[in-house]
Structure 1
Amino acid sequence: MGYSHRLATREDLPAIVDIYNAAILEKASTCDLEPVSVASREGWFESSRLDFRPIWVGYETDDPCTVTGYLSFEPFLNGRPGYNVTSDVALYLHPEHRGRGQGTYLLGEAVTHAPKLGVRTVATTIFGSNRASLSLFRSHGFEEWGRLPAVADLGGGVVQDVVFVGRKVDGSAG
């Protein structure tokens, strides 16, 4: 059984929020400290565009109605127009679908698709302790471009380094 993806619809937003909230509770991949609501993510969803900053949902090929992960092309840094050639990629998977090839599939598709969005560089930040995500991004040609020690305090004694990774997608090397 393999994975595929499609453009997210408003009907997918509750599943996207559930996946994201699972990541918040795990304190392994986001700096949000409290679960978010569907209402709080509507503006984010509405700001996505097919031709610029799309949101994709992943699903098992034989079940396109069940969202098992999502990938979004986010504005880079502060979203100023000069950064439009760079996208921050956010990738979140349902806990039951991690380590099964979906992340590899979605990230590979994103790297291939990015130039069609006018993107020349793809980057993201990953907690230093998140070995699975670091390995996934490295396997797709991402390089470590910087490390910020102990900049994320998630409460309960959980302090994280943030690793900045990126890669060119216009055919040139990192």
Structure 2
Amino acid sequence: MTYCHRLATQEDLPSIVEIYNSAVLARSSTCDLEPVSVASRQAWFDDARPDRHPIWVGYKPDDPRTVTGYLSMEPFLNGRRGYDSTLDLAVYLHPDHRGRGQGRYLLREAITHAPKLGARTLATTIFASNKPSIRLFQSLGFQVWGRLPGVADLDGVIHDVIFVGRRVDDVKD
């Protein structure tokens, strides 16, 4: 399936929240334990800047208003200035669009676009049990830079977290 992306708009926020909440309920890719509201994500959305920390939404070419996933490029480690050359990625896909190439497309676009944002390094954390996400990131040149054992507790289920990253000037994808 072919996907496209664009900058997220305020009208996309409810769809972004719906997609994120599907991940919350699945307990496979976020440490939030309760669904979030649009109001609670408004400040996060307002802090996004197209020139530095954009939020992109994925869509099918024949339906640009229907959000099928999103990717955000956020400040790394609480936004301390010394980390400005690194972006923390988050990729979430609508359940109906997982495993269809959208994650690869969005991630590849982020790698290509990162230098325009002043980034030299991309990084993220992934549950060690989330093998599809680990495979996706590794297939695009991300390497495991660390493992944080037992740091996530989701209703009594303990998860290790894998830290992955890559330089954007590394192997071209």
* Count of matched residue pairs: 172
SS at match of 1:78: helix
Alignment of 1:30-41 (within 5 A): 30-41=30-41
Aligned position for 1:59? 59
**Which amino acid in the other structure matches residue 81 of structure 1?**
R
TM-score calculated relative to the size of structure 1? 0.97
Any gaps of 5 or more consecutive residues in structure 2?
A: none
Deviations 1:19-51 (A, max 9, x none): 000000011000011000000000000000010
Query: Which stretch shifts more, 164-173 or 10-19?
Result: 164-173
**Cα shift at 1:170:** 2.7
**Which amino acid in the other structure matches residue 66 of structure 1?**
T
Aligned position for 1:109? 109
Distance in 1, matches of 2:23 and 2:50, equals 25
Aligned position for 2:121? 121
2:173 aligned with 1:163: no
2:16 aligned with 1:19: no
Deviations 1:50-92 (A, max 9, x none): 1000000000111101000000001101211111100000000
**Which amino acid in the other structure matches residue 133 of structure 1?**
S
Alignment of 1:25-104 (within 5 A): 25-104=25-104
Moved over 3 A (4+): none
Does the aligned pair in 1 maintain the 2:74–2:88 contact within 8 Å? yes
What is the CA RMSD across the aligned residues, in angstroms? 1.1
**Cα shift at 1:172:** 7.2
Deviations 1:127-156 (A, max 9, x none): 00000000000000000000011100011x
Distance in 2, matches of 1:130 and 1:171, equals 24
Distance in 1, matches of 2:2 and 2:20, equals 22
**Cα shift at 1:171:** 4.1
**Which amino acid in the other structure matches residue 92 of structure 2?**
Y
Distance in 1, matches of 2:141 and 2:48, equals 26
Distance in 2, matches of 1:66 and 1:140, equals 26
Aligned position for 1:10? 10
Any gaps of 5 or more consecutive residues in structure 1?
A: none
Distance in 2, matches of 1:78 and 1:20, equals 20
**Which amino acid in the other structure matches residue 127 of structure 1?**
F
2:127 aligned with 1:144: no
Does the aligned pair in 1 maintain the 2:141–2:171 contact within 8 Å? no
**Which amino acid in the other structure matches residue 168 of structure 2?**
V
